[in-house]
Amino acid sequence: MRIEVLVDVKTILGEGPLWDVEQQRLYWIDSFGCNVFRCTADGREIRAWDVPGKIGSMALRKDGNGAICSLQDGFYALDFKTGDSTLINNPIGNNPAIRLNDGKVDRRGRFIAGSMDTMESGPNGELYRLDPDFKVTKLDSGIIVSNGPCWSPDDKIFYFADSWSGEIWAYDYDIHTGSVSNRRTFTKVDTSRGGAADGSTVDAEGYLWNAQVYDAKLVRYAPDGKVDRVIDMPVKKVTSVNFGGPNMDILFVTSMAKPPLPRFPGDGVLRGSLFAIYDLGIKGVPEPRFGA
């Protein structure tokens, strides 16, 4: 195994690595820099788009015309050709204390994303499903910071975390309707060093990978919730993970240069870098696109 800096763009709050198998390109975001980035698997041909607000996550569209983004005040459609962003649905209303955060697409083309308390102080966030017709349905509530949505390879389990609960949860998932039920604790995160569960992905073997922000660790959990492997990263503030590359065997890892709340120290010269981890001997599962 080897860890390399793939792109050094010093994202303020790098998040949401997303490998697109159709274009063979990696996307990621800067939540506080209000940017969407794209590059090749080896870090070349970097392109960036501005979005009109803090961005929590993004999903590519099946029609090939850009992306769906969860911005601070709602779901937006980003047109890659024009750079324009258009509001399509705002489930949180006019509340500056709440913004949309992490999200991913299920294998029926629905975008599942949660909101968060911007001061990370109370359970004021909710979990939403954005359908291809842009209808929004609330799936859960009582969340401080929504993070890490992903699915088991058979689509029967939906994983999700409230970063400050100290747990990653599992729900029963109905792939036909996009509904969740039977929330339970999948695993408890080691928070003794100040870390918390951030972005996640599930590999082809059904193991869940979680970036543990502020703790410089990536943790691989077996389907029964037990720790299978721990990778120590060169920066504390790792934020999210996603497999990609031509053979789906590179693990891309985002990080932040500056935490949104001043409770943790800096990370040195590598802060905010986009990392790539090679030779893990593990492959990921392609991410679906949004749309019918």
Q: Out of 106, 117, 162, 198, which one is annotated catalytic?
A: 198
Q: Is 17 left (phi over 0), alpha (psi -120 to 50) or beta?
A: beta
Q: Answer yes or no: are the C-beta atoms of 218 and 199 closer than 8 Å.
A: no
* Partners of 99 in the β-ladder: 116
Cα 199 from Cα 159, distance rounded (Å): 11
- 3-class SS shares of the chain: helix, strand, coil, % to 5: 0, 55, 45
Q: Answer yes or no: are the C-beta atoms of 251 and 6 closer than 8 Å.
A: no
Cα 284 from Cα 243, distance rounded (Å): 5
50 is catalytic: no
* Partners of 141 in the β-ladder: 126
Residue type, 130: L
Catalytic residues, by residue number, are 198
